[in-house]
């Protein structure tokens, strides 16, 4: 498509409009590899819990680009000291940062050992992709520069941190976007204000002295979105459901009777054969879910049962399971097997937890910790690590809050015969400290 003069816009429910002034960005958006992201949902199977969460990685990629465009425009308007030769590198890297994402990557990657970051680089460096060809028009070396930013190996730490850092455009967009589409309000924060407090300073992005509470609010928004969406126990159940189907299909593929798979690339993936870039780019949510839909009628009773459970949303149920004791888990699995379900496909211990803010507590001069945010005092020209100044940030920082849950079939849990045994094996002593507390409303989004 030929570039026409003037700015182009996309309507977007998060940012209102996404403005494109650079023909390079336009050409990248229209590559086949970017268009593939329209067929990969940002939140994987979470739409089974939050019906509105059906948005794709494509609109997120546009959003990341837009946030970066606004950042650069803010730097320019305020005359900040910023290396303008990197303008395009920043916006392009933001747009392409998820180009290598697999469908349902959280469910797929652990099974197949794929890593979307590495695929992103392969796609960008492969001379046969459209993305590569568009990038190479800037300069022969440009694809490599973009790949370096995505690999966090680019010499400019500043450029890297704008795309992947503690307060990067990726997180800023996905928190707001996931929040809007799921209808969970917690992820909303004041983007205009965030942009106003970020300053490029000596090869890093720092926070103006007055931005303390703004950053607190951002980090807490992230904290809430984790517990309300990303770690939501029903969201995890859906993901586990998909993982189990794929696991069974993989097991069958390796055995004598590979299941019918409607797509050669997926067939290769299930058989653990190496994938070319072209193969990989064939994979999307539609290919995977169509395979699952076909398996509904597969002769293997486990595969067809697992497929039906996922498609008809009869997900595994959970009990909190703080212990993690492997002996006890063996007893649980034995019970499930006695009840007639193969625990390999019908039982999972799921651990949710992350580090919300990874700070540095060393010498004040050692300001180079990657995961930390620094407050910058223009009068004194000094950086102070954020958690030293904020009790709420200290509260959610560093420590890993973990929630451990046991998933198993409702038939087992509700059975008079087996349910009591399971309940006694997972019993815990009342309400526990956060991270061990059920973080969601039992009656919500739980159909």
Q: How far is the CB of 153 from its own copies (least distance, A)?
A: 30
Torsion sign (Cα): 336, 338, 341, 343:
positive
48: which residues sit within 8 A by CB, 6+ positions away?
Answer: 234, 235, 238, 313, 315
Burial status of residue 251 (CB atoms within 10 A of its CB: 0-12, 13-18, 19 or more): middle
Options 125, 212, 277, 402; binder of its own copies; rule CB under 8 A: 212
Q: How far is the CB of 275 from its own copies (least distance, A)?
A: 16
The span of 140-148, 198-206, 321-329, 434-442 binding its own copies (CB under 8 A) equals 434-442
Q: Does 363 bind its own copies (CB under 8 A)?
A: no
The span of 113-121, 145-153, 184-192, 237-245 binding its own copies (CB under 8 A) equals 184-192
Using CB under 8 A as the binding rule, the residues of this chain from 253 to 282 that contact its own copies are: 262-263, 282
Give the strands of the sheet with 348-352, arranged side by side.
317-320, 403-408, 348-352
Q: Does 294 bind its own copies (CB under 8 A)?
A: yes
Q: Are the C-beta atoms of 318 and 426 separated by less than 8 Å?
A: no
The span of 85-93, 104-112, 330-338, 425-433 binding its own copies (CB under 8 A) equals 425-433
Options 390, 407, 422, 426; binder of its own copies; rule CB under 8 A: 390
Q: How far apart are CA 236 and CA 407, in angstroms?
A: 9
Options 351, 368, 370, 414; binder of its own copies; rule CB under 8 A: 414
Burial status of residue 21 (CB atoms within 10 A of its CB: 0-12, 13-18, 19 or more): exposed
* Residue for token pair 């509105």: 52
Q: Does 420 bind its own copies (CB under 8 A)?
A: no
Q: Does 122 bind its own copies (CB under 8 A)?
A: no
59: which residues sit within 8 A by CB, 6+ positions away?
Answer: 12, 42, 177
Options 344, 388, 404, 421; binder of its own copies; rule CB under 8 A: 388
Q: How far is the CB of 66 from its own copies (least distance, A)?
A: 11
Using CB under 8 A as the binding rule, the residues of this chain from 74 to 93 that contact its own copies are: 77-78
In the Cβ-directed half-sphere of 180, how many Cα atoms lie within 13 Å?
16
Q: Does 190 bind its own copies (CB under 8 A)?
A: yes
Angle at Cα 154 formed by Cα 150 and Cα 158, nearest 5°? 95
Q: Does 6 bind its own copies (CB under 8 A)?
A: yes
Q: How far apart are CA 172 and CA 38, in angstroms?
A: 20
Tokens of residue 253, six digits = 């593929």
Q: How far apart are CA 82 and CA 252, in angstroms?
A: 55
Tokens of residue 252, six digits = 């069958």
Q: Does 430 bind its own copies (CB under 8 A)?
A: yes
Q: Does 208 bind its own copies (CB under 8 A)?
A: yes
Q: Does 98 bind its own copies (CB under 8 A)?
A: no
Nearer to its own copies, 10 or 112 (CB): 10
Q: How far apart are CA 172 and CA 122, in angstroms?
A: 26
Q: Does 65 bind its own copies (CB under 8 A)?
A: no
Q: Does 62 bind its own copies (CB under 8 A)?
A: yes
The span of 143-151, 199-207, 249-257, 428-436 binding its own copies (CB under 8 A) equals 428-436
Nearer to its own copies, 141 or 185 (CB): 185
The span of 110-118, 168-176, 218-226, 331-339 binding its own copies (CB under 8 A) equals 218-226
The span of 88-96, 174-182, 323-331, 346-354 binding its own copies (CB under 8 A) equals 174-182
Burial status of residue 174 (CB atoms within 10 A of its CB: 0-12, 13-18, 19 or more): buried
């Amino acid at each position: 498509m030929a570039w026409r003069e003037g700015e182009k816009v996309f309507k977007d429910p998060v940012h209102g409009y996404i403005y494109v002034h650079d023909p390079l960005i336009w050409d990248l958006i229209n590559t086949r590899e970017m268009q593939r992201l329209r067929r990969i949902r940002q939140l994987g199977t979470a739409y089974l819990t939050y019906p509105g969460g059906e948005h794709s990685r494509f609109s997120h990629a546009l959003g990341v680009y837009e946030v970066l465009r606004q950042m650069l425009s803010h730097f320019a308007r305020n005359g900040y000291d910023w290396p303008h030769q990197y303008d395009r590198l920043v916006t392009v890297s933001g747009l392409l940062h998820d180009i290598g994402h697999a469908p349902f990557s959280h469910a797929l990657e652990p099974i197949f050992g794929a890593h979307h970051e590495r695929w992103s680089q392969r796609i960008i460096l492969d001379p046969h992709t459209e993305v590569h060809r568009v990038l190479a028009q800037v300069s022969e070396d440009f694809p490599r520069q973009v790949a370096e930013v995505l690999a966090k190996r680019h010499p400019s730490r500043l450029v890297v941190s704008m795309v992947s850092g503690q307060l990067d455009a990726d997180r800023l967009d996905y928190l707001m976007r996931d929040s809007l589409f799921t209808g969970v309000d917690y992820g909303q924060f004041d983007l205009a204000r965030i942009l106003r407090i970020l300053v490029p300073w000596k090869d890093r992005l720092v926070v103006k002295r007055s931005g303390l509470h703004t950053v607190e609010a951002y980090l807490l928004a992230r904290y809430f979105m984790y517990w309300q969406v990303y770690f939501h126990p029903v969201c995890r159940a859906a993901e586990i459901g998909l993982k189990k189907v794929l696991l069974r299909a993989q097991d069958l593929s390796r055995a004598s009777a590979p299941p019918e798979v409607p797509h050669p690339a997926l067939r290769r993936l299930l058989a653990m054969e190496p994938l070319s870039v072209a193969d990989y780019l064939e994979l999307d949510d539609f290919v995977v879910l169509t395979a699952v839909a076909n398996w509904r009628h597969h002769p293997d009773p486990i595969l067809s049962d697992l497929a039906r459970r996922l498609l008809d949303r009869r997900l595994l149920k959970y009990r909190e399971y703080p212990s993690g004791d492997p002996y006890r888990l063996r007893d649980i699995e034995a019970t499930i097997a006695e009840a007639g379900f193969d625990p390999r496909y019908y039982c999972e211990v799921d651990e949710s937890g992350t580090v919300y803010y990874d700070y540095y507590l060393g010498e004040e001069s050692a300001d180079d910790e990657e995961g930390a945010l620094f407050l910058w005092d223009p009068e004194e020209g000094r950086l102070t690590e954020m958690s030293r100044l904020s009790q709420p940030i200290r509260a959610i920082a560093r420590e890993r809050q973990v929630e451990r849950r046991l998933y198993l079939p409702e038939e087992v849990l509700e059975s008079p015969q087996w349910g009591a045994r399971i309940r006694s094996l997972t019993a815990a002593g009342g309400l526990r400290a956060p991270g061990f507390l059920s973080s969601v409303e039992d009656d919500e989004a739980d159909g």
